[in-house]
Amino acid sequence: MQIFPLAVLPGTRFRRRRRELGLRCEAHPPYTVTATPSFSPEDFLLAYDYAETRLDTVFFPLPDLEVCWRQGAGRDFRKAADLRVRLGEIECVAKLVLNRVRPEEEIRRLARRLTQPYQVLVGPGLRDFGHLVRTLRTTTAENPFTPFEVVFFEPAELPRTSEFLNVLNLRRPHFLDGDLRYLFPQPGNRAVLFTLVSADRRARFRGDMQRQVYWWQGRRLPSLQELAELGDLDGVLIDSPVPFEAVCAWQDAVGPSAAEEFHIGFGEAALQARWLLRTCPDEYVGTVTGWKVD
């Protein structure tokens, strides 16, 4: 089931009569209606919340959990490389990896070849958040309309996401700021998602457009019971040092029931692609999940 907020489109008779009808709407795309004579902005939020509860669904979900960072058996983030995809004759960067301070000219060159959307993966070894700020300024200057996700892997301290939002060169209001207005009670950023990947089970990254994912690196794969015990978090990234074939067998045996209950991702790119194509076959194609490293 999908739901689309009422919009008042330019050039329509409905829009010309909006003041007569008492309609308030956003001035920018997608021109979402925010109030009527009988429905306040708070009433809209309550109505969506009530409908989600009654129908046991989510009308405005966050993006799927897709934070793979490596290809093959290598597990040292310091050696991780950008993940790329080939779209036709063009090779694009889908995941820009910051595991060290990279030359600004290199970042500028890669920013011109980013996919839409894209991810910036921040490794545990990057302590210079100033470099991340400069990188985000560059990527958003080159891609002012493109939504993206910043993924922090085991950072030394919790990221202060508001500081990053303040330096972006995104065009605001972004289309998603209006389209996903009712994702959270307060209006604001909906175009940039921040994800924390950590082995800390304490829920501590819970603001708007923030999610916290448990980094499962145990020597065996989790059971359904163990996944349920992590239910206070927003998902689990499975990154265990077990053979590729064993993970495939787990996906085949446990995957169908696990995917219904939990948000699950895999650290290895081929395993992540296999999982998405198996659990969401109508939403993904092999072309866009065919990540490759340099």
The domain ranges of the chain are 13-55, 77-293
The pTM of the whole model exceeds 0.85: yes
Architecture of domain 77-293: Alpha-Beta Barrel (3.20)
* CB-neighbour burial class of residue 165 (10 A; exposed 0-12, middle 13-18, buried 19+): middle
Q: How many of the other CB atoms lie within 10 Å of CB of 205?
A: 22
d(CA 9, CA 130): 41
Q: How many of the other CB atoms lie within 10 Å of CB of 79?
A: 12
d(CA 95, CA 210): 18
Q: Which pLDDT score is estimated for 286? A: 66
Q: Which pLDDT score is estimated for 254? A: 87
Strands 292-293 vs 264-266: parallel, antiparallel or unpaired = unpaired
Contacts of 265 (CB under 8 A, 6+ apart): 65, 66, 67, 68, 213, 235, 236, 237, 238, 272, 275
Contact 165, 34 (CB under 8 A): no
Q: Which pLDDT score is estimated for 137? A: 98
Which residue ranges of the chain lie beneath pLDDT 50? none
Tally of residues, the chain: 294
**Token couple for 234:** 């927003």
